[in-house]
Chains A and B, each alone.
Chain A
């Protein structure tokens, strides 16, 4: 089923670039949630058959990343009444180009990786690396707290993609644990974001520089 899988992965990569390119926070949130949903679907394509364990894990993923997290984020965003990312530390176009470069690099680099024969054809590894890079780009170039959370989620997605390579290794409990952590993390972050907005009347992390030497 590799063709379909690869198609999905290409979509994921495209979504990365979109996330880099857009300035509207809602769009970013939606893109990331869509990415999450796609990731949730992939295990079916890899395993091929439906197991309850698989259902549980992927279902959890889809529910959390596609439903709960965007919901919480959008609520938080509405609470603090902000719409769009301000001009990031490096512009949208440059960051897009950077993301593209990263993707290309990932594609080339993963060629040289000593991969098991089964994993050479699918784009899993390059996609995961590229997504991780994009996540970092978002984290380091965006100023708004919410966008940084998005960056973290993208990073997490990238790692999740790599996890596809070794379905067996991660027992269900662990997968659920990871998801739970993710959920709690986002939950706490939303609270903090709220407080940041109350305390600094903005979400610009560039104002959070009181603590320094």
Chain B
């Protein structure tokens, strides 16, 4: 099963590489997405862990991330067709190949239960997505790609060192060194503490770079703002979460080793710090795609905070993984439409989106209301339960700061969003030729995503909540 899920997109990538027609090739993406989504549902339907080999196991955590990845890719692939239609200036071969390969390697991340494999897969995501960032071929996009490549590679290299430390911790404990997750989990209590802690820090910093925790986030705004809308959506909703999954692994080990007291302060600090940095850069942000990127940093911070608080907050955190992914997809896709219609990302040149693009503008606004965590949308439920957990576990200061930062971020984000959607259209017709029209392909995905966000806020489907509960139990399992 794993191999099907992983190699299907890679195979499709190969097919895309040979398909000659620029007009037909994009349609391979939705096909891939649909098949992959279907298979994903089949896998998720299976109870408990789905083990293919000792290295490729889909545990409940992986299931959640896989769901997000596959779901988001499905919508982004549809949107991508419309997107490529609108920008038929250059060949989209590289785009299609890398985009579906991207899906393949991310699927690998979700399955991998061997930290080495996981490292390889995450490094691979960087490499295959670099050309996607570079799609526009503008100097800015080159720069973004360069920073993305170098910073992430360096960070992930550190994560490799961290993985080695883990293996060494097991070796030091007198077991023969291993990177297989199950074995580490069983041995967790015996692992040598110093090496385990060092490994945790290294992997937090390393994968945290990829996940976009401040201050290692520096590549993120650039990449998100320069990449095409569907790619940004995948980055923010799926890629970052894959890195988060890697961090969850080592977090899980620390929990199993009974080191919660060690990881908690670090994670809470990193989470709040990321939120604070995001807030600082969101206030007065003129580039609305950068603004969304910083909001991703903020939400990664919330995830870190959530697992830092731990315990009852885990459910909310995992729910937030899903809610944030869906909402951010909605936001990036609608923002992409707005960007296309105005040919600018700067709020000085973009206004009156509600008038020029009634649907996309509304979707963008709704997505904003959802992402700031106001009811009745999904993120509200997750953030509120994290908050409750924070109070329940006595992290009063952290919870207070959490709320304060939420307010700051709301102010920063709201100013930008309202500038975009409200007011009349700019007098100087900055509209690029040909004039962008909202097509079914570009508007339907965000609409459905909005429906999902609302659903998450009003009524979490039973299967999903079971999935989340299993994941929480899985995280809290003590060998």
Q: Residues of A at under 8 Å CB distance from B?
A: 114-116, 132, 139, 145, 148, 152, 155-156, 159, 162-163, 165-166, 168-171, 173-174, 177-178, 180-181, 184-185, 188-189, 192, 195-196, 199-200, 205, 208, 210-211, 213
* Contact A192 B124, beta carbon cutoff 8 Å: no
The residue among A114, A184, A192, A205 with the most chain B CB atoms within 10 A of its own CB is A192
A162, A180, A184, A208: the one contacting B161 at CB < 8 Å is A162
4 A-B pairs with least C-beta separation: A174-B116, A177-B120, A169-B177, A166-B177
* Contact A181 B146, beta carbon cutoff 8 Å: no
A165 CA to B177 CA, complexed, in Å: 9
CB contacts (< 8 Å) of A192 on chain B: these are 130, 134, 142, 145-146, 149
A145 CA to B143 CA, complexed, in Å: 11
CB contacts (< 8 Å) of B140 on chain A: these are 210-211
CB contacts (< 8 Å) of B221 on chain A: these are 211
Give the distance to chain B from A110, nearest Cβ to Cβ, in Å. Answer: 13
* Contact A155 B157, beta carbon cutoff 8 Å: yes
A159 CA to B160 CA, complexed, in Å: 7
CB contacts (< 8 Å) of A173 on chain B: these are 117
What is the chain A residue whose CB lies nearest that of B138?
Answer: A199
What is the chain B residue whose CB lies nearest that of A128?
Answer: B161
B147 interface residue, CB < 8 Å from A?
yes
A115, A177, A189, A213: the one contacting B281 at CB < 8 Å is A213
B315 interface residue, CB < 8 Å from A?
no
Contacts A159-B160, A174-B120, A196-B142 given; indicate if A188 touches B154 (C-beta within 8 A): no
The residue among B171, B176, B195 with the most chain A CB atoms within 10 A of its own CB is B171
* Contact B172 A211, beta carbon cutoff 8 Å: no
In the assembled complex, 9 residue pairs joining A and B whose CB atoms fall closer than 8 Å, in A order, are A114-B192, A156-B157, A159-B164, A166-B168, A169-B164, A171-B114, A185-B126, A208-B146, A210-B140
Give the distance to chain A from B117, nearest Cβ to Cβ, in Å. Answer: 6
* Contact A168 B127, beta carbon cutoff 8 Å: no
Give the distance to chain A from B423, nearest Cβ to Cβ, in Å. Answer: 24
In the complex, per-residue mask of B114-129: 1 if CB is within 8 Å of any chain A CB, else 0: 1011011001101100
CB contacts (< 8 Å) of B463 on chain A: these are none
A196 CA to B144 CA, complexed, in Å: 11
B295 interface residue, CB < 8 Å from A?
no
* Contact A174 B117, beta carbon cutoff 8 Å: yes
Give the distance to chain B from A58, nearest Cβ to Cβ, in Å. Answer: 17
CB contacts (< 8 Å) of B281 on chain A: these are 213
Give the distance to chain B from A150, nearest Cβ to Cβ, in Å. Answer: 12
